[in-house]
Amino acid sequence: MTRFKVSANQIKELKYRVVLTTFCGALTLATGCLPEVNQFFSPLPGSTNPGGSTAAPSGGPTTPVVEPSPIVGADDGSDQDYYDPSSPTDPAVDNDNGQDGIVVGGTDDPGKTVCNPFDPNGTSPSGTPSDQGLVARIWYLSDDQPRYEHVKQYQHQGHPESSRFYFPSINVPTRPFSEGFSTQNGDILRRDDGVPLFEYFSIRYESTLRLPAGQPDKKVQFALLADDGAVFRVDNGNGEYKKIVRNDGNHQTKFACAKKAVTLSSASATPIRLDYYQGPRYHIAVVLMMREWTAAQDSGDNGGDAACGTSGNDLFFDSTTTPSTPKQAYVDLLNRGWQVVPAGYYHLKPPALNPCN
């Protein structure tokens, strides 16, 4: 039998647990009171944490249960999100527990299905595989809500919209946005309260990334061009989505770069999640880019690029043309090895299929 030394403070803590557990017991099923109580206490020796690690005897380390991660690099603190202190706090990781994820299956309602919403044709090229693309859901702010400035505020405080969106890739250069989305029926998509949806909304994209067959594994750096805020996460191999690029907040089209590499493979798919929000209707932009992670970056420059952190609605694209045309700053990104993540890399999580392909 294993014996643990329990300090006087731990005995006192255990007494508090008993009192609070008794108080909350009747409310547990209705309110989830006990999990809220547990968050205020450290695990007792020999107990199991919700995240799957075992609390060691006093003074000993914990041993987390972690699967191999595609993310390369130590945690540098960049996982911390912005959040509204008056709203539920946002953890450094998103757990794929089904609550925040997008459930795909069954038959999509054409009146609530939006295909390639930023493409005027709304259709994928002929021959596109049925599992290719990204699926997305939306939250919107009603007219009586504050105009938040961070993506998690939109998703914590906004209203979930019942439509389902399908995208071939994440490639929306800076452009005006005032006409909203069209459904498969050809109607303008409206919020559940009947108002056309074209501003003050958040999109959560989900998919997986897999290299084309036969390509060797490679480490890549990701970056985001976005107007307004966006945050890109990658599953760390244990069902948790770790933040890779943070480009949050109200701003003009801004280029933000990852400080960690991610290993992509043709033999396995890496789940991803991108959260984006659109503030006022005037301009919209969200482009996920990548380049190969080099030995020089491994040596300590954290993947820096001269354009990281720069912004401007007329810096990367000329949005007065239709379609928007690249400007020199964007051409320079391409010349330095950046590229838009190819549409062929995105594959929905099985068994989901893309009804727009």
Q: Is residue 2 in some structural domain?
A: no
Q: Is residue 313 in some structural domain?
A: yes
Asked if residue 39 has pLDDT above 50, the reply is no
Q: Is residue 124 in some structural domain?
A: yes
Q: What is the pLDDT of residues 244-254, one digit of tens each?
A: 999 999 899 99
Percentage above 90 pLDDT, the chain: 41
Q: Is residue 353 in some structural domain?
A: no
Same-domain pairing of 38 and 115: no
Q: Is residue 91 in some structural domain?
A: yes
Q: Is residue 336 in some structural domain?
A: yes
User: What does the pLDDT read at residue 180?
Assistant: 65
> Which two three-digit tokens encode residue 348?
């929905």
Same-domain pairing of 87 and 185: yes
Identify which has the larger pLDDT, 97 or 266.
Answer: 266
Same-domain pairing of 112 and 28: no
- Cα 30–chain centre separation: 30
Same-domain pairing of 223 and 330: yes
Same-domain pairing of 98 and 156: yes
Same-domain pairing of 50 and 109: no
Q: What is the pLDDT of residues 319-339, one digit of tens each?
A: 898 889 999 999 999 999 999
* CATH code for position 235: 2.60.120
Give the range among 132-136, 152-156, 288-292, 295-299 with minimum mean pLDDT: 295-299
User: What does the pLDDT read at residue 111?
Assistant: 67
Asked if residue 82 has pLDDT above 50, the reply is no
Same-domain pairing of 112 and 227: yes
Same-domain pairing of 159 and 305: yes
Asked if residue 97 has pLDDT above 50, the reply is no
> Which two three-digit tokens encode residue 137?
């859901």
Asked if residue 100 has pLDDT above 70, the reply is no
Asked if residue 348 has pLDDT above 80, the reply is yes
Q: Is residue 334 in some structural domain?
A: yes
User: What does the pLDDT read at residue 71?
Assistant: 66
> Which two three-digit tokens encode residue 280?
């006022």
Mean pLDDT of 36-47: 35
Number of domains in the chain: 2
Average pLDDT, the chain: 74
Same-domain pairing of 32 and 83: no
Same-domain pairing of 50 and 77: no
26 lies in which domain range? 8-54
Asked if residue 14 has pLDDT above 60, the reply is no
Q: Is residue 64 in some structural domain?
A: no
Asked if residue 343 has pLDDT above 70, the reply is yes
Same-domain pairing of 245 and 323: yes
Query: Torsions phi, psi of 219, nearest 5?
Result: -90, 135
Same-domain pairing of 40 and 184: no
